[in-house]
Amino acid sequence: MYRKLTFFSRFVPDILAGRKTITLRDEAESWPRIGETLDVHTFEDDRWFCRICVEDVHPIELAALDDTHARQENMTLAELKDVLAGIYPGRDAFWLIRFKLCSGDDSQP
C-alpha cells in the first residue's frame, strides 16, 4: 500500500501524458520522499488514476519560479502564479515535488 497524493481533476490528462512533472505544495504537503511511490487520486472525488515516483523534493520561493517550472506544470508562468494564488492565497514559500509516472504495476489499489 502506497501513501496518497491528490491533484485537482483538471490536471489528470497532463499528468497521464507526462506534461505535468512537478507539483508545488505548502509545508503540510512536503512529506513525499525522493524515491517514494505514491498512489495518485483526484482531489474532488478521491478517484485513483495512477502511481507516480518522486524524483526530487525541495523548498522554493514564489519569486524563484521561472518559465522552466511553468513548463513542468504545463502552464505559462502567469498561469502558474495565478493557480498558486488561488490555492494558497498570500503564500510565497512552497515545496517543489518533481515526479514521473511509475512504470510497471499500475493496477488500481
Indicate the DSSP class of residue 23.
E
Residue 68's pLDDT is what? 98
Catalytic-residue membership of 73 = yes
Catalytic residue among 73, 76, 81, 100: 73
3-100: CATH class: mainly beta
Confidence bin at 104 (pLDDT 50/70/90): low
How far, in whole angstroms, is CA 92 from its chain's centroid?
17
Choice among 4, 6, 20, 61 that is catalytic = 20
Distance CA 66, CA 27 (A): 20
- What does the alpha-carbon distance between residue 42 and residue 92 come to, in Å, rounded to a whole number? 25
Q: Is position 100 annotated as part of the catalytic site? A: no
Q: Is 68 a catalytic residue?
A: no
Predicted TM-score (pTM) of the model is 0.92
For the chain, the domains span 3-100
